[in-house]
């Protein structure tokens, strides 16, 4: 399925991808009312690939930190599965595509408080709540994991943008509504406020494409991270399947169709993609399409998939 | 990604799968009100694997014909893409998971007559309508394709159960409702009655696991069928992505999670699964789970995936 | 509750209503794709009041025939209740406001084929189907009733615009979808095609404001029509309650709030209103508001209610 | 419309209503998880009628205080309309029947944070928020109004059950979810917590049938209360229309059909009904039907309507 990396070398491919896809105009949009997400210039574009053989290739603005937003859900899920018997979590959240916009309360009502998957907001709140049983400072636990995987021995590395987190927390009525609604169905154990705070702080983690690609590599390596197993091989495969079917908001099918790889996007403009057995890829460009996925990032990944033959299909 | 087939040989594995998964009791259900789908004994169980290297392995009731029902949607889609500029079809049907039960009219209303994917009934009706532009006898065209791929030089091979088709046609109010509704939105070009008739006849095709595995093999071979290209490599990959995200009714995510392979099920109890680059698998057992997928068949495929390591993740 | 008719005399009030509310510009809209509904000039405006004491007052274009469209549902319902044990009909259709747009299939799916009330299209199809058990030519039966009530001893009187009916029938995919969907749930006994044809022909009845006010008078008289009882007093009250809660598409609450009287509108621009014990009112002006109710007609009725004190509240 | 009160005298009619409708068994249900609502014995049944001519008739347990719950919404709405320009409130909440269960978040999402009417929970929260602009202690303001209308010069009169309010507040996740969701749409001005607290305290008001009938009498008197105008005649009529179309949860249509009068029920088992120009009626019996309305109370009101001829239709 995976073709070997032929010439040209990957570094050159990435440089060319940057050349082709770095935005030249302010196409797309930024999330309304979130100042720190609209501050990066529209022409920011970075890409990084961390391979299972230990190499890291990158191009463009691959060392600039960006707000990972919903990409954090992949790592919170992995931490929750790692910390506990996976079966307990899977009784609280399904694994089906949502088929509606990512914030919808409708599904939650119809399915009596069981979110359809861990990547819609309600599902992510349940996963955070679950992780908090073992690690009340869930956001700090996720951050620590990311720092270790990204191999930051010195310098900055992944960090929480506390100012941004504070701003988002002051505007998290919708997530508070979801959390109280989950509590109403008995599917939230901690206080709604505490869970939303942890959730918002995870989403406010800042890291670069290079760091993100390294942090996600364990999913391309059967669950094996920088310092040993993170999740079992079986759970790693399953996280991949959830990424493929649910990782791109309401464009999961389109992304699977165009790119053919498990991915997870965030409204900060980042996308993490896994090529099982081969590599983890992170692309970042801040402006979004109508579904909330990075406009230039999605196009770049489709291009990269065509050039390299990387696809699970 | 794909591990090589180690010992034991695949033939023995399949025999053991049959031994383990052939139903011993009347668990599960059969579709209400469709006599010919409830007639096979509950303990029917067959499995077949057709490999890209040209071998066919099978076990159990792999030579008994069964009603392929919605598995036909894979082939009608391939025929429609093969017969025409794919872009024209994709303007009439989306590629997103539906997130609701497979017959729902709700989605169609919300999205103004554009079905979410080609595998929900409304989407399949649009695909059939599209194919009928070139081949008014769409069902016959699909049947002919299946016969050629299954390599039936003599004997019976795939055929349409005309009695069953007649019965289903007399009870197709829901599909007629969908067809008229599509027409109301301008997304059906032929008469509602003609499209539903073609659709029902495709679903009434009878074939065996061995024939189905051979017929589906082109999807594991980059679109290359028994007698040459059926669809382009790119479209073959895309059909696979649609199978993975939408192929198992409202259990697509769960199937991707447990089995990790593109699949398409039918309420006749059959499931077609593709291992890209490796093989096509067909399993059949008539009794269904609550989502409408073969109960024993799904379990067998999860088991087979575990034993062989076949998974796209 | 009802105040007596003080001076000025009702005839003058109506003349002034016409003066105030006859449209001076092409505000509002007409239904797309129905030629005969968009043909009347935008400034057509008529109003008629038939009182329980036997008088008829009218002003403006009150003698011009218009297409009654959904107002017919009131009479089909009365005929169905008159022809049969009411309990049998009420087991097939509810009496609750719909809370969604008048054509929605969603509710039907959620409530398993039982329409929420007799005035949404699905409900009206069930009522027509019910009436057809006794009167296969349901549309003719309704027409005959209207002619008798309107007291047309000579001249034209209510008639079916057969050309318009034919055109609408050729564009009734949505109603055919609803009918097949009802049949799928076992809640349609005749063929979908026959029921839709009868339904469309009833909607294509042409009559004037004066005729309509006289035809609706039985509802202001406890069910007692021109030639004797049409429905029981109890059923007459109940038809009034359904008109008040469900008669104005998705603006029933707003109409009850502004006008305070049971009413039923049609997309032909007519509205029939009942003042229990006092009179029946019909207003007509062809251009519609965003909910499908006559723009000038609704405003005129609110004005008339304010001037006369007519309100059930 | 309204027939005069013939013999037998109303006092005897009410006594007979109590005799006929006082529950003899534990039919119906009580709200789960609200101890103080399930504590009254199942056979409690009271009824009171306060007439516009100044008389009060009652029978059964008409002097026992019960929890008014959602009936409070009628009075909060009147206070909000009384305290301010009505137009400002009506820009924040619609007046349409909801067509779904009374707590549904779905509608709120579809209609972008504008509740469909003031009697569903989301609408009531907006009304409370609106009232709090003038009266931060909205619950106290409503209570004071009720005490004045009920004419409690000595003794207990309406009071807030603070223990019950505290219990409900500790279990108000769903209302908190609604409040945060409204805030997300910009349709809540005070803090979600403060609004929910005021809302819960209003619902926890305890009063008897006699007190409730007297308190609701202003709606039968064109807005004129014990000490002068409460709302304008026009707003009184409009509150009546909202009660008729939206006052009985998802059984508003059925209640309008059976009883034919504006009513508002609460899950405490009380129902307030208005006969415009004649009287206000309160009935109470604690056990509920499947829609959340008093089982015996609804039946008694249908009976009373039949016996007296009271109906707006």
| This prediction's pTM | 0.89
Q: 3-class SS at D103?
A: coil
* Mean pLDDT, range D186-214, rounded to an integer: 97
At residue A33 the predicted structure's pLDDT band, cuts being 50, 70 and 90, is confident
DSSP state letters, chain C: -PPP--SSPHHHHHHHHHHHHS-SS--SB--TT-HHHH-S-TT--EEEEEETTS-EEEEESTTS-EE-GGGHHHHHHHHHHHHS-HHHHHTTS--S---S-TT-SHHHHHTTT--S-TTSHHHHHHHHHHHHHH-SSHHHHHHHHHHHHHT-SSS--SEE-HHHHHHHHTT-HHHHHHHHHHHHTT---S-HHHHHHHHHHHHTEEE-HHHHHHHHHHHHTTTEETTEESS-HHHHHHHHHHHHHHTTGGGHHHHHHHT-S-EEE-TTSEEEEEETTTEEEEEE-S-B-TTSSBHHHHHHHHHHHHHH-----
C133 class by beta-carbon count within 10 Å (0-12 exposed, 13-18 middle, 19+ buried):
middle
**What is the rounded distance in angstroms from the CA atom of residue C187 to the CA atom of residue C91?**
10
Interface test with B, best of A4, A239, A253, A291 (most B CBs within 10 A): A253
Tokens of A134: 């073992």
Pairing of strands A228-229, A224-225: antiparallel
Of C2, C246, C252, Cβ closest to residue D1: C2
Residues of A contacting chain B (CB within 8 angstroms): 1-2, 94-100, 107, 116-117, 236-238, 240-242, 244-246, 250-254, 256-257, 260, 262, 276-277, 311-313
pLDDT at position C290 over 70: yes
**Helix ranges, chain B (H):** 10-21, 35-38, 72-83, 86-90, 106-110, 121-134, 138-149, 162-169, 173-184, 192-203, 209-216, 233-246, 252-258, 295-308
Does the beta-carbon distance from C100 to D99 stay under 8 Å?
Answer: yes
Tokens of C89: 């009909």
**What is the rounded distance in angstroms from the CA atom of residue D124 to the CA atom of residue D175?**
10
Q: Which chains touch D (3 or more CB pairs under 8 A)?
A: A, C
Point out which residues pair with D283 in neighbouring strands: D47, D271
Q: Which chains touch B (3 or more CB pairs under 8 A)?
A: A, C
Q: 3-class SS at A241?
A: helix
A299-313, B151-165, C294-308: which has the minimum mean pLDDT? B151-165
State the Rg of chain A over Cα. Answer: 18
Does the beta-carbon distance from D240 to C313 stay under 8 Å?
Answer: yes
pLDDT of residue B1: 36
* Mean pLDDT, range C118-126, rounded to an integer: 94
Establish if A20 belongs to a structural domain: yes
* Mean pLDDT, range B39-46, rounded to an integer: 95
* Mean pLDDT, range B60-89, rounded to an integer: 94
pLDDT of residue A155: 61
% of chain B exceeding 90 in pLDDT: 78
Tell me which chain D residues have a C-beta less than 8 angstroms from the C-beta of C313: 236-238, 240-241, 244, 262, 276, 312
pLDDT at position B135 over 60: yes
pLDDT of residue C1: 36
Establish if A92 belongs to a structural domain: yes
Does the beta-carbon distance from B105 to C104 stay under 8 Å?
Answer: no
pLDDT of residue D248: 92
Question: What confidence tens digit (pLDDT) does each residue in A122-145 have?
Answer: 999 999 999 999 999 999 999 999
Establish if B313 belongs to a structural domain: no
Q: Tell me which DSSP letter residue A294 carries.
A: B
* Mean pLDDT, range C29-57, rounded to an integer: 92
Q: 3-class SS at D275?
A: strand
Of A95, A250, A251, Cβ closest to residue B254: A95
The CATH number given to whatever domain includes residue B179 is: 3.40.710.10
Tell me which chain D residues have a C-beta less than 8 angstroms from the C-beta of A184: 173-174, 177
Q: How far is CA C218 from CA C74, C117, C215, C236, C240, in A?
A: 11, 21, 7, 8, 11
**What is the rounded distance in angstroms from the CA atom of residue C92 to the CA atom of residue D61?**
38
Question: What confidence tens digit (pLDDT) does each residue in B170-182 have?
Answer: 999 999 999 999 9
Q: How far is CA B209 from CA B17, B149, B157, B252, B271, in A?
A: 14, 13, 11, 21, 9
Establish if A313 belongs to a structural domain: no
Chains C & D: contacts with CB separation below 8 Å: 118
Of A95, A116, A260, Cβ closest to residue B99: A116
pLDDT at position B113 over 70: yes
Of B96, B100, B277, Cβ closest to residue A250: B96
pLDDT of residue A6: 54
pLDDT of residue B86: 78
Of C109, C173, C179, Cβ closest to residue B106: C109
Tokens of C201: 């022909």
Strand order in the sheet with D66-67: D66-67, D205-207, D159-160
Does the beta-carbon distance from C245 to D251 stay under 8 Å?
Answer: no
Of D109, D173, D192, Cβ closest to residue A105: D109
* Mean pLDDT, range B58-81, rounded to an integer: 97
Of A174, A179, A181, Cβ closest to residue D184: A174
pLDDT of residue D3: 45
Does the beta-carbon distance from A1 to B311 stay under 8 Å?
Answer: no
Of C109, C174, C181, Cβ closest to residue B184: C174
Residues of B contacting chain C (CB within 8 angstroms): 104-106, 109, 173-174, 176-181, 183-184, 192
Whether the CB-CB separation of C239 and C77 falls below 8 Å is answered with yes
pLDDT of residue C284: 98
Shortest CA gap C206–chain D (Å): 28
Does the beta-carbon distance from C253 to D245 stay under 8 Å?
Answer: yes
pLDDT at position B105 over 80: no
Give the distance between the most distant pair of CA atoms in chain B.
57
D44-48, D88-92, D111-115, D174-178: which has the minimum mean pLDDT? D111-115
pLDDT of residue B223: 96
pLDDT of residue A146: 97
Q: 3-class SS at D116?
A: coil
At residue D103 the predicted structure's pLDDT band, cuts being 50, 70 and 90, is very low
Of D2, D254, D262, Cβ closest to residue C313: D262
Does the beta-carbon distance from D256 to C276 stay under 8 Å?
Answer: no
Q: How far is CA D150 from CA B138, D47, D156, D159, D296, in A?
A: 76, 15, 11, 12, 24
- Which residues 6+ apart lie within 8 Å of D91 measured at CB? none
C29-38, C74-83, D103-112: which has the minimum mean pLDDT? D103-112
* Mean pLDDT, range B105-133, rounded to an integer: 88
Global ipTM: 0.87
Nearest chain B residue to C179, by CA: B177
At residue D8 the predicted structure's pLDDT band, cuts being 50, 70 and 90, is confident
Nearest chain D residue to A33, by CA: D184
Q: How far is CA D82 from CA C313, D116, D218, in A?
A: 19, 21, 12
Average pLDDT over chain B, rounded to an integer: 91
pLDDT of residue C154: 55
pLDDT of residue C67: 97
Shortest CA gap D166–chain C (Å): 34
Residues of A contacting chain D (CB within 8 angstroms): 104-106, 109, 173-174, 176-181, 183-184, 192
Our count of domains for chain A comes to 1
Establish if C3 belongs to a structural domain: no
The parent domain of residue A217 ranges over: 10-308
A167-171, B68-72, B75-79, B278-282: which has the minimum mean pLDDT? A167-171
Q: 3-class SS at A278?
A: coil
Tell me which chain B residues have a C-beta less than 8 angstroms from the C-beta of C181: 105, 173-174, 177
pLDDT at position D102 over 60: no
**Helix ranges, chain A (H):** 10-21, 35-38, 72-83, 86-90, 106-110, 121-134, 138-149, 162-169, 173-184, 192-203, 209-216, 233-246, 252-258, 295-308
pLDDT at position A257 over 80: yes
**Tally: H helices and E strands in chain D:** 14, 10
Establish if B1 belongs to a structural domain: no
- Output A67 or B4, whichever has higher pLDDT: A67
Find the distance separating the first CA and the last CA of chain D, reported in whole Å: 7
Residues of C contacting chain D (CB within 8 angstroms): 1-2, 94-100, 107, 116-117, 236-238, 240-242, 244-246, 250-254, 256-257, 260, 262, 276-277, 311-313
* Mean pLDDT, range D192-207, rounded to an integer: 97
A187-201, B49-63, C97-111, D149-163: which has the minimum mean pLDDT? C97-111
Establish if A203 belongs to a structural domain: yes
pLDDT at position A10 over 50: yes
Interface test with B, best of C102, C177, C189 (most B CBs within 10 A): C177
pLDDT of residue B2: 38
Residues of D contacting chain A (CB within 8 angstroms): 104-106, 109, 173-174, 176-181, 183-184, 192
% of chain A exceeding 90 in pLDDT: 78
Q: ∠ CA(B65), CA(B69), CA(B75), 5° rounding? A: 95
D301 class by beta-carbon count within 10 Å (0-12 exposed, 13-18 middle, 19+ buried):
buried
A99-113, A160-174, C127-141: which has the minimum mean pLDDT? A99-113
Strand order in the sheet with A66-67: A66-67, A205-207, A159-160
pLDDT at position A3 over 70: no
Q: Tell me which DSSP letter residue A284 carries.
A: E
**What is the rounded distance in angstroms from the CA atom of residue C272 to the CA atom of residue C22?**
17
Q: Tell me which DSSP letter residue B48 carries.
A: E
Nearest chain D residue to C2, by CA: D1
At residue A104 the predicted structure's pLDDT band, cuts being 50, 70 and 90, is low
A12-26, A85-99, C184-198: which has the minimum mean pLDDT? A85-99
Average pLDDT over chain C, rounded to an integer: 91
Tokens of B75: 């082939």
Strand order in the sheet with B279-284: B56-60, B46-51, B279-284, B270-275, B263-265
Q: Which of B157, B158, B170, B216 is nearest to B197 (CA)?
A: B170
Q: 3-class SS at A153?
A: coil
- Which residues 6+ apart lie within 8 Å of D181 measured at CB? A105, A173, A174, A177, D105, D108, D109, D113, D122
Establish if B277 belongs to a structural domain: yes
Question: What confidence tens digit (pLDDT) does each residue in B210-249 have?
Answer: 999 999 999 999 999 988 999 999 899 999 999 998 999 8
């Amino acid at each position: 399925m995976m073709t070997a990396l032929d010439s040209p070398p990957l570094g050159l491919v990435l440089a060319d991808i940057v050349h082709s896809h770095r935005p030249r105009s302010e196409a797309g949009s930024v999330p309304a009312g979130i100042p720190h997400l609209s501050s990066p210039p529209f022409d920011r574009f970075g890409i990084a690939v961390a391979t299972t053989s230990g190499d890291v290739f990158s191009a463009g603005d691959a060392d600039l930190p960006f707000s990972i937003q919903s990409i954090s859900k992949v790592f919170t899920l992995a931490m929750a599965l790692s910390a506990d018997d996976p079966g307990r979590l899977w009784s609280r959240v399904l694994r089906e595509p949502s088929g509606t916009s990512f914030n919808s309360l409708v599904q939650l009502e119809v399915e009596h408080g069981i979110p359809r998957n861990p990547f819609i907001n309600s599902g992510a709140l349940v996963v955070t709540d679950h992780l908090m049983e073992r690690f009340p400072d869930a956001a700090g636990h996720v951050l620590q994991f990311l720092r270790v995987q990204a191999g930051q021995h010195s310098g900055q590395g992944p960090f929480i943008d506390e100012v941004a987190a504070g701003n988002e927390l002051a505007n998290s009525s919708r997530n508070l509504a979801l959390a109280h609604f989950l509590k109403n169905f008995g599917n939230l154990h901690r206080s709604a406020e505490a869970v939303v705070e942890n959730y918002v702080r995870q989403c406010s983690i800042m890291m670069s494409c290079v760091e993100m690609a390294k942090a996600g590599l364990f999913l391309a390596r059967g669950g094996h991270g920088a310092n040993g197993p993170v999740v079992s091989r079986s759970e790693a495969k399953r996280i991949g399947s959830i990424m493929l079917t649910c990782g791109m908001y309401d464009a999961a099918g389109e992304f699977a169709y165009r790119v053919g790889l498990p991915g997870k996007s965030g409204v900060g403009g980042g996308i993490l993609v896994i090529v099982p057995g081969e590599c983890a890829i992170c692309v970042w460009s801040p402006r979004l399409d109508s579904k909330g996925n990075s406009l230039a990032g999605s196009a770049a990944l489709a291009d990269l998939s065509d050039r390299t033959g990387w696809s699970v299909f």
